[in-house]
Amino acid sequence: MPYHQPNQKQLTKIPDSEKELSTEEKIKAAARLVFAQKGFAATRTRDIAEASGINLALLNYYFRSKQKLFDGIMLEKMQEFFGKVAPIFLDDTTTLETKIESFVSRYIDMLIKNPELPIFVLSEIRNQPQHFARIGNINEIFSRSSFINQLKEKRPEVNPMHFLMSMLGMTVFPFIAMPILKSAASLDDDRFIAMMEERKKQIPIWMNAILEKNPTN
């Protein structure tokens, strides 16, 4: 399904495809759009109620506060991401090369479906880092995983966090810079998605090249 970058008007109401959701899910769908557009601090519960097509009293019945609604949505998003990443990084039966391919592929698939997520998450991490301190297992996934151990064995002189940052940057940056890239390269939505599909193959090649490079003397 082609992805269309949301604009200001599109973010004022939930899509037709989500209008048949339960009231609670309809509120969450609207909140995801409004939070992504305005950020946590600038969003009012009234904005979310209007976007979901319900009255404010009903929204307050389901979610007692904006904070509770935000925390629930962010936890879902982070669990969705880490639920896909953790099994890859913690799997002792797969090679490092397979882990890299799987990580890049799943991450890009998630970002194609949630292109607003990187900017939103980065903004909220900067403004309210305490929201993300509640997410468990991050240390286990990124510090004590099979993935990290395999990296250390393959290139002991390379800091694993440098490798991770490079892989994440290659994967996430195109979505952060999407408006600029689409304008500079005259890309429509379909061509941008096609380019991201190409990166699923290219990024593992580049990362594996780093692993095969002879250590610097």
Domain that holds residue 167: 73-212
Residue 217 lies in a domain: no
How far is Cα 147 from Cα 86, in angstroms, rounded to an integer? Answer: 10
148 within 8 A of 142, measured Cβ to Cβ:
yes
Together in a domain, 104 and 43: no
Q: Is the pTM of this model over 0.85?
A: no
Q: Of 64, 82, 103, at which residue does a domain stop?
A: 64
Phi, psi (deg, nearest 5) at residue 99: -60, -45
My answer on whether 58 and 79 are in the same domain is no
Are residues 184 and 143 located together in one domain of the fold? yes
Q: Which of 80, 68, 85 is nearest to 31 (CA)?
A: 68
Each residue's pLDDT expressed in tens, for the chain with a length of 217 residues: 444 444 444 445 555 555 556 889 899 989 988 887 887 888 999 999 999 999 999 998 999 888 889 888 877 877 777 777 888 988 999 999 999 999 999 999 988 988 877 777 777 677 666 666 555 556 666 777 899 999 999 999 989 889 999 999 999 999 989 999 999 999 999 999 999 999 999 999 999 998 986 555 4
DSSP structural state of residue 129: G
